[in-house]
């Protein structure tokens, strides 16, 4: 039976004051039987600031409270769901992600946590949960996420036969979750102000719900052939450094930034690598769709309670 979520839990953000100094390890929220403590909220906020290289001030802490709490709620929802299934940790995936965040120096990342009195184990646990969640979604929806490689081969054949050059885009993203009752115009206005004041990369790290947030929103180089038609049509009209208009999705709003663009001769392409990227991009798009949908359904069946 669907249990009504106590959305008023978010109201506590108006009263919660996380000091940069001492803090009590008090329970602030329960997601079913999973708890969220003041300590976790503080660690999440300060971790975001440290990884962003941003100044730790009470003003910056206050700005991140809502997003930190939302991120922790999603993490607890994932834990609740993962407990129902046998999903093992994949150390290779975890290390790959840590190397990406740390620029291939995990020890330096750990030292950064230690030097700032942050709990690295909480951060690592969140990374582990995220990688397990990815594997769970792929397993749960594998028939729907499976890509027809023959159709990709046909697509590549047409590229080789009919085109001399293709474009590649280096892009970054910010994705913001929206609720049904949200004032979308105000959310867009507020986010544009944050981007103007703090820059796209810092805003992505602080406020984006996408997994790319920890990399300041950057998705790297993506072939135009690996992009959805909607995204490609947006990017092809943009100049380098430009930020797109808000792209509305089912439960979120997406902003794209075009960091760079280049043209590659087809004869110089690694076709196998391009095929791999096209398949990966298509899978990622479907993964994000099913992941958000699954979390949304799960959220509507559990009790989120302010303590």
pLDDT in tens, 161-200: 777 888 889 999 998 877 666 788 888 898 898 899 888 9
pLDDT category at 158 given cuts 50, 70, 90 is confident
Residue 302 lies in a domain: no
Is 110 a residue whose pLDDT tops 80? Answer: yes
**Which of these three, 140, 171, 204, is where a domain ends?**
140
Residue 152 lies in a domain: yes
289 and 266, same structural domain?
Answer: yes
Lowest mean pLDDT of 2-11, 16-25, 129-138, 268-277, name the range. Answer: 2-11
Cα–chain-centroid distance for residue 140? 20
pLDDT of residue 5: 39
Q: Are 173 and 256 in contact (CB under 8 A)?
A: yes
d(CA 99, CA 22): 31
Percent of the chain past pLDDT 90, that is, above it, reads 30
**Which of these three, 140, 163, 195, is where a domain ends?**
140
79 and 54, same structural domain?
Answer: yes
How many folded domains does the chain comprise? 2
pLDDT of residue 54: 77
List, in sequence order, the alpha helices (H) in 214-270.
229-235
pLDDT of residue 183: 81
> Residue for token digits 């559990």?
302
Is 20 a residue whose pLDDT tops 60? Answer: no
Closest CA relative to residue 167, chosen from 90, 218, 221? 221
The reported pTM is: 0.69
d(CA 103, CA 109): 9
Q: Are 73 and 65 in contact (CB under 8 A)?
A: no
Is 105 a residue whose pLDDT tops 60? Answer: yes
120 and 153, same structural domain?
Answer: no
155 and 119, same structural domain?
Answer: no
pLDDT of residue 73: 92
Cβ burial of 42 (10 Å; 0-12, 13-18, 19+) is buried
> Residue for token digits 């079913």?
32
> Residue for token digits 């919660």?
16
For the stretch 35-71, pLDDT in tens is 999 999 999 999 988 887 778 888 888 878 887 888 8
Residue 304 lies in a domain: no
pLDDT of residue 181: 65
| 103: DSSP letter | T
- Residue 279 belongs to a domain with what CATH number? 3.10.50.40
pLDDT of residue 16: 46
Domain holding 259, by residue range, is 147-296
pLDDT category at 106 given cuts 50, 70, 90 is very high
Percent of the chain past pLDDT 70, that is, above it, reads 91
Is 211 a residue whose pLDDT tops 80? Answer: no
End-to-end Cα distance, the chain: 23
Is 1 a residue whose pLDDT tops 50? Answer: no
**Which of these three, 140, 167, 193, is where a domain ends?**
140
Q: Are 165 and 158 in contact (CB under 8 A)?
A: no
d(CA 31, CA 179): 18
* Average pLDDT over the chain, rounded to an integer: 83
d(CA 268, CA 279): 20
């Amino acid at each position: 039976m669907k249990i009504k979520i106590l959305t008023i839990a978010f109201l506590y953000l108006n009263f919660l004051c996380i000091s940069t100094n001492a803090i009590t390890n008090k329970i602030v929220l329960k997601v079913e039987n999973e708890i969220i403590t003041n300590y976790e909220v503080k660690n999440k906020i300060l971790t975001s600031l440290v990884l962003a290289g941003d100044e730790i001030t009470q003003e910056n802490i206050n700005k991140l409270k809502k997003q930190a709490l939302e991120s922790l709620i999603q993490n607890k929802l994932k834990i609740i769901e993962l407990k129902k299934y046998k999903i093992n940790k994949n150390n290779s995936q975890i290390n790959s992600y840590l190397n990406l965040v740390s620029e291939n120096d995990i020890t330096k990342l750990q030292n950064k946590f230690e030097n700032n009195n942050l709990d690295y184990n909480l951060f690592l646990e969140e990374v582990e949960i995220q990688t397990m969640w990815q594997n769970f979604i792929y397993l749960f929806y594998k028939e729907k996420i499976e890509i027809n490689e023959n159709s990709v081969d046909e697509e590549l054949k047409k590229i080789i036969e009919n085109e001399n050059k293709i474009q590649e885009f280096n892009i970054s993203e910010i994705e913001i979750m929206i609720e049904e009752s949200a004032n979308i115009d105000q959310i867009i206005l507020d986010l544009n102000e944050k981007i103007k004041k703090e820059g796209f990369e810092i805003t992505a790290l602080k406020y984006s719900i996408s997994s790319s947030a920890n990399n300041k929103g950057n998705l790297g180089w993506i072939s135009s052939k690996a992009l959805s038609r909607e995204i490609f049509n947006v990017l092809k009209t943009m100049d380098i450094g430009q930020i797109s208009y808000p792209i509305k999705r089912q439960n979120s709003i997406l902003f794209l930034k075009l960091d760079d663009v280049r043209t590659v001769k087809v004869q110089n392409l690694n076709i196998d690598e391009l095929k791999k990227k096209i398949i990966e991009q298509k899978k990622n798009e479907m993964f994000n769709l099913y992941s958000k949908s699954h979390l949304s359904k799960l959220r509507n069946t559990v009790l989120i309670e302010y303590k």
